[in-house]
Amino acid sequence: MATWEQILLGIAAVIMLFFFWPGIRKMLKQSQQAENKDWQGALMPIGIVVIFVILMIIVARS
């Protein structure tokens, strides 16, 4: 990637950060008020998928 493309990409990233900052700040405030039950609801499916992928890898190797 050329230097001018990297600079342009960096500028675009900073502009996107400023564009999304109000939403990010609002979500951070809301996340402080969340209960632990909310995390359990998100982590349970992720954990099941991780275990499933690990089992699939084990089966594929044998």
Residue 30's SS3 state is: helix
In the block, residue with structure tokens 């499933």:
52
Say what the pLDDT of residue 34 is. 66
Say what the pLDDT of residue 33 is. 75
CA neighbor of 42 nearest in space, from 50, 54, 52, 53: 50
- For the chain, the maximum distance between any two Cα atoms, rounded to a whole number of angstroms, is 50
Going by pLDDT thresholds of 50, 70 and 90, the confidence category of residue 44 is confident
pLDDT in tens, 9-41: 999 999 998 888 888 888 888 877 766 666 777
Say what the pLDDT of residue 8 is. 93
pLDDT in tens, 47-58: 999 999 999 999
How many whole angstroms separate alpha carbon 61 and alpha carbon 55?
A: 10
Domain ranges of the chain: 3-61
Q: What is the pTM of this model?
A: 0.43
Neighbours of 20 (CB within 10 A): 11
